[in-house]
Structure 1
Amino acid sequence: MLDVERLQFLDLYSFELRLDYFEKILEFTSSSYSFYWLEAVLNLMIYKDAIEFDEILDEMISLAYEDVVEKGYHLGPLIHQKRTNALENAILSIQKYLP
């Protein structure tokens, strides 16, 4: 768990949401993982006060799985015919082990 008081004392992390930074997340959409990230955070906020990083990743994978596997969407640009998006690569790696 995060030691919130220690992080704030060391001035390493602010728990305030700066809307001017937050709105830039969706400004550049060449990699569409940001939409899955936002939806995952919003989904998890409904049920939890604190969200861990791995929970966000799990939710993002479950949200994007069908789009990548069944619909064939690319979540980022292809460079030399290789996928560059980590979320898409993770989903395709997981797919190898699922029936």
Structure 2
Amino acid sequence: MIEVTKGGVRLHLFIQPKSSKNEIVGSHNGLLKIKITAPPVDGKANEGLIAFLSDYFDLPKRDITIIRGDTGRQKTVELLGVSEQFVREKLKL
């Protein structure tokens, strides 16, 4: 679910687009499940995910990158400039 990298942390996610609200649900098959209101059309769910993570972790959008899974529900997202401890505290893990 959380992987430490040289510049920050990578999150392994399962995304549920077109939900009623943006929220972090919890663990799902070893991945962190996040619901996003944006539909999975023309990259809108990816944009919605980055915007949500930016607000949630109080990071600029430029510090959040989708590394893997652009078109799928399983994604790997890198957060630059944060520690594993910070992410675990924010996620209450």
Same-fold call, TM cutoff 0.5: no
Compare the two structures and name the one with the higher helix fraction: 1
**How does the TM-score come out when normalised to structure 2?**
0.30
Kindly indicate whether structure 1 or structure 2 has the higher relative contact order, using CA contacts under 8 Å at least 6 residues apart: 2
**How does the TM-score come out when normalised to structure 1?**
0.28
